Amino acid sequence: MIPNLRKTARKLGVVLALLFMATIQNAIAQQDSQYTQYMYNTVSVNPAYAGSRGHISTALLHRSQWVGLDGAPTTQTFNIHSPIGYRGVGLGASIVNDKIGPTSETYIDIDFSYTVYTSSEGRLSFGLKGSAHLLDVRFSELNQFTSDNSLQNDIENKFSPNFGAGVYYHTKKFYAGLSVPRILQTLHFQEGSDPTTAQEQMNFYLITGYVWDLNDNTKFKPTLLTKLVTGAPLQVDISANFMFSEKFILGAAYRWDAALSGMVGFNISKKFLIGLAYDREVTELGKAVFNSGSFEAILRYDFISTKGNLKSPRFF
């Protein structure tokens, strides 16, 4: 009885969700990818972060959201960035792939930053992001109960350009950034006499954090990310991470009225970080029998020169 109920609920939920996304006729707000370990993936939301680590830095992230729900969102992200020369210039590139139901989106981004010294420790960076967006919608995969002309033709690799901007300030222990990764409010899906459209809105990000040395072996870093987008609730992510002996990282996070998260990380070396996160919804969705929570993994590798006096891994 219970397995059948679970199967029925799963099918009903995904069909209703996909039909809603596919048939909505008015412009809706489309949000950027969601990350729990945003503190290790800052360049994805703020181009001014490019090059701020002082060396070539790469990161690979995978996120599976609402595991157990057919057609639930998954995200893969790869980015690389580095300072260029000695004039405060940073460059970066990233690829972000999002899938939800029959929809796939790929962003290919190029980031440029310019940094000025505000004090002996302070750095203020200004960034620009250029994006190429590719959209696939496979309407043929939907279980359609009625005939809708707007849902007959699949969309393949629809191209849309975009650009974004950001500012980022940091010292050895503090950082803060404000950014809009995508400024153009692009219309997606189909146009015509019976249009099916979704409008991509601007996502405003505020991110900040501070590192305290509690003792010789323990660092404490609270962080905050706030995301504002028209047509969606304000998103506020609050996290707290502890680093022990410059190796182990344990933390927890709360996404306001949305989810509780646990995080763990390990610095295999001064160059290589592995991070894992698990989210559990605090909404009604979290109580669903077909939702096992959300999982996220990140690998970050820094090409740090063995020369110099690097004392400890950067905590942001």
pLDDT per residue as tens digits for the range 11-53 = 434 433 443 343 333 334 456 788 999 988 899 999 999 999 9
What are the structural domains, with CATH classification, of the chain? Answer: 2-303 (2.40.160.40)
Q: Which pLDDT score, from 0 to 100, does residue 207 have?
A: 96
Does the global pTM surpass 0.75? yes
Q: Which pLDDT score, from 0 to 100, does residue 218 have?
A: 96
Q: Which pLDDT score, from 0 to 100, does residue 186 have?
A: 74
Please identify every stretch of the chain with a pLDDT value under 50, giving residue numbers as ranges.
Answer: 1-29, 309
Q: Which pLDDT score, from 0 to 100, does residue 136 have?
A: 86
Q: Which pLDDT score, from 0 to 100, does residue 191 have?
A: 53
Contact 48, 37 (CB under 8 A): no
Q: Which pLDDT score, from 0 to 100, does residue 12 have?
A: 37
Q: Which pLDDT score, from 0 to 100, does residue 14 have?
A: 40
Look at the block and give the residue holding tokens 């969606």.
232
Q: Which pLDDT score, from 0 to 100, does residue 89 have?
A: 96
